[in-house]
């Protein structure tokens, strides 16, 4: 699915040049479950942003199904994010004034679907994460684990091919962490490709493959 070749990413910060990625070469197969670990500032978030077409490399190629993200237009990247890639973050990023149904529905706005199909997809996604009975609840009326499940429903409602998750269990206690992990594993078993950034070794050990990013370079870790 992804192939990165000679990827670097540099940017200027407070008058100095920061090299976030320094010649990364890596492949991620369709259907894989990859955990990315490493120290703060090691390049993990930059790596995830490149996979998610939220950024472009300074040099090198980031291929998604053979097409180079670095050479795509802004409109092409927008369509890729809207249809092919789902995102989940540590902070949930739910709109507090909207219900679970409305939060999930927002992900479908760029697809131009009819109202009936949108509603059916939202209910299907909420049922998939076990929250069909919480569709009318706002985030403040849900637990942390339930809010993260709404965020996952929002990510999968557009039926993406890959889910990119940045510390998806970082704000959860151990029992809720395991609940979210079990859900992610089930989605992966159903064919969804997962790439998860985590500081939690208990999360990383559940992945099929582990990568370590440190000082802008990546290497595979043994299970």
d(CA 195, CA 33): 6
- Find, among 199, 87, 197, the residue nearest to 151 by Cα: 87
pLDDT, tens digit, 9 for 90 and up, residues 67-86: 998 899 999 999 999 999 99
* Total domains present in the chain: 1
Residue pair 7/61 in contact by the 8 Å Cβ criterion: yes
Residue 37: give its domain's CATH number.
3.40.50.300
Mean pLDDT of 49-66: 94
Strand order in the sheet with 59-64: 16-28, 2-13, 59-64, 67-68
pLDDT at 11: 87
| Confidence class for position 222, pLDDT limits 50, 70, 90 | low
- Give a three-class secondary structure readout of the chain: CEEEEEEEEEEEECCEEEEEEEEEEEEECCCCEEEEECCCCCCHHHHHHHHCCCCCCCEEEEEECCEEHHHCCHHHHHHHHHHCEEEEECCCCCCCCCCHHHHHHHHHHHHCCCHHHHHHHHHHHHHHCCCHHHCCCCHHHCCHHHHHHHHHHHHHCCCCCEEEEECCCCCCCHHHHHHHHHHHHHHHHCCCEEEEECCCHHHHCCCCEEEEEECCEEEEECC
pLDDT, tens digit, 9 for 90 and up, residues 89-143: 888 999 999 999 999 999 999 999 999 999 999 999 999 999 999 999 999 999 9
In a domain? residue 222: no
Q: Is the dihedral of CA 143, 106, 131, 31 positive or negative?
A: negative
Range of the structural domain that residue 179 is part of: 2-217
Angle between helices 115-128 and 144-156 (to 10 degrees): 130
In a domain? residue 223: no
In a domain? residue 36: yes
pLDDT higher than 80, residue 199: yes
Percent of the chain with pLDDT over 90: 80
In a domain? residue 190: yes
118: its two tokens: 């949108």
In a domain? residue 42: yes
């Amino acid at each position: 699915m992804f192939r990165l070749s000679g990827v670097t990413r540099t940017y200027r910060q407070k008058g100095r040049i920061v090299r976030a990625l320094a010649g990364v070469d890596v492949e991620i197969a369709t259907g894989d479950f990859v955990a990315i670990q490493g120290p703060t500032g090691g390049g993990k978030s930059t790596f995830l942003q490149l996979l998610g077409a939220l950024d472009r490399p300074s040099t090198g190629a980031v291929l998604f199904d053979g097409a180079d993200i670095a050479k795509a237009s802004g409109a092409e990247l927008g369509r890729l994010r809207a249809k092919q890639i789902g995102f989940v973050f540590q902070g949930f990023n739910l709109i507090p004034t909207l219900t679970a149904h409305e939060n999930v529905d927002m992900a479908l706005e760029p697809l131009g679907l009819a109202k009936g199909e949108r509603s059916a997809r939202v209910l299907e996604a909420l049922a998939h994460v076990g929250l069909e009975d919480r569709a009318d609840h706002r985030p403040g009326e849900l637990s942390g684990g339930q809010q993260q499940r709404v965020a996952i429903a929002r990510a999968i409602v557009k039926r993406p091919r890959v889910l990119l998750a940045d510390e998806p269990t970082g704000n959860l206690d151990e029992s809720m962490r395991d609940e979210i992990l079990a859900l992610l594993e089930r989605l992966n078993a159903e064919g969804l490709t997962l790439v998860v950034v985590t500081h939690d070794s208990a999360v990383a050990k559940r992945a099929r493959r582990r990568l370590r990013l440190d000082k802008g370079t990546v290497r595979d870790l043994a299970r």
